[in-house]
Structure 1
Amino acid sequence: MTETSIVSRRNVLGGLVGLSAIAAAPSFAGTPGVLTGAGDIRSIKIYNPRTGERLDSVYWVEGEYIPQVLDEINFLFRDWRRNELRAVDVRTIDIMAAASRMMDTTEPYQLMSGYRSPETNNALRATTRGVARNSYHMRAMAADLRLSTRSVQNMYQAGVACNAGGVGRYSRSNFVHFDCGPVRTWRG
């Protein structure tokens, strides 16, 4: 993260203090009401234990995504095995932010898997149970997440309450899958 991006975000936040109490407009058509609960200022905290990289940043202010922060999110979500990245669907980030607020936690999500190249997805399918052939990870529309202060069940319930995509509970592997595809749930 560059000093310029830190200062820029601080300037944006400094000018908008006090506006966070106003209800946010939906960030995409048909947004369920719970996602608007992320506020006029939306932030996300993510830690990638595979790479050691962290992000704690405001990514949305007054109906606008901050492109520089989305670039940082895309980098953090990259397929670290192949060092490939794609633009993460912002709806997934919105779901993550709304679920985090519902769980009332300040802990960063541990990102177990974000974007996966088709090659990585196929390699994982060959060795790991539960990896979908047409995974939303390959479309940069999904995240497998863990929190040390919340149970898989708590995370799953928050994701389901968003009513905004797919939520999979993987209790044995201690993570929850969020994606911005059709609303559905499953156990892995």
Structure 2
Amino acid sequence: MIRKLFEQHYLSETEPVQSRRRLLQAGLGACAMLALPMTATTAHAAIKKPYEKKLSFLNLHTGERTRATFWANGRYVPEGLRAINHVLRDHRTNERTTIDPYLVDFLHQLQYRLRTNQEFHVISAYRSHATNAKLAQLSDGVAKNSLHTQGKAIDIRLPGRKLADLRSAALSLQMGGVGYYPSSNFIHLDSGRVRFW
């Protein structure tokens, strides 16, 4: 059927059958040649790079930086989480804990929402109970049972971004607590229940 249509539209009735066959074979050969690169491209596109999640941090107290892949091939990457735990440790006592992976995901979603891969500037992340108690004596704004002591909270800013925009993006995610501290130039995020102040 296809051959018949091809012959009707592209070959003159006056040409000998032999010429028609050669032209048809040449045309089919050309089509096959054109299909090869497309097949190779399609096969190449099917081999996708594994989905990875990365975050970058600058600890403003220690000057330490990290850019860590914390998720790849459908699972958390222990080495990446360890790097994050290290840079987010209590800089006063040098103690570290396991940062809640949900909080790390919250930060990654915030980064995605803001369409950036810029590093977060960290004001405070994990706090030992001793550090938290000292800070609570100095300020009414420090909760005695702070989620910072459980590795479930972080105080951040993002250079070049308005703090209000950072807060709005975090609130829109509805993933946990969001605190707004414009006078101190940071927002608080935590992996507790959804709430804001």
Q: Normalization by structure 2: what TM-score?
A: 0.73
Q: Which runs of 4+ in 1 moved over 6 A?
A: none
Which residue in 2 is equivalent to 1:143?
154
Amino acid at match of 2:100: D
Which residue in 1 is equivalent to 2:92?
81
Give, in whole Å, the separation in 1 of the partners of 2:157 and 2:48.
31
Q: Between the two proteins, what is the percent identity of the paired residues?
A: 35
Which residue in 2 is equivalent to 1:174?
185
Amino acid at match of 1:62: N
**Alpha carbon RMSD of aligned pairs, Å?**
1.3
Of 55, 79, 98 in structure 1, the residue corresponding to residue 66 of structure 2 is: 55
Amino acid at match of 1:120: T
Which residue in 1 is equivalent to 2:32?
none
Give, in whole Å, the separation in 2 of the partners of 1:171 and 1:163.
20
Which residue in 1 is equivalent to 2:14?
none
Amino acid at match of 1:18: K
Superposed, 1:6-155 pairs within 5 Å as: 18-19=48-49, 40-155=51-166
Following TM superposition, by how much is the alpha carbon of 1:175 offset from its aligned partner in structure 2, in angstroms? Answer: 0.3
- SS state at 1:176 partner: strand
- SS state at 2:160 partner: coil
Q: Which structure has the larger Rg over C-alpha atoms?
A: 2
Following TM superposition, by how much is the alpha carbon of 1:63 offset from its aligned partner in structure 2, in angstroms? Answer: 2.1
Aligned 8 A contact 2:89 2:96 in 1: yes
Aligned 8 A contact 2:55 2:117 in 1: no
Q: Normalization by structure 1: what TM-score?
A: 0.77
Aligned 8 A contact 2:155 2:186 in 1: yes
Q: Deviation digits for residues 139-166 of structure 1, max 9, x if unmatched?
A: 0001100111111111111111111110
Give, in whole Å, the separation in 1 of the partners of 2:68 and 2:94.
22
Q: Deviation digits for residues 85-144 of structure 1, max 9, x if unmatched?
A: 100000001000110111112320001101001110111111134111111000000110
Amino acid at match of 2:138: T
Aligned 8 A contact 1:107 1:149 in 2: no
Q: Deviation digits for residues 4-43 of structure 1, max 9, x if unmatched?
A: xxxxxxxxxxxxx8346xxxxxxxxxxxxxxxxxxx3111
| Larger fraction in helix | 2
Following TM superposition, by how much is the alpha carbon of 1:52 offset from its aligned partner in structure 2, in angstroms? Answer: 0.9
Amino acid at match of 1:75: H
Give, in whole Å, the separation in 2 of the partners of 1:100 and 1:118.
29
Q: Which protein has greater RCO, CA pairs closer than 8 Å, 6+ apart? A: 1
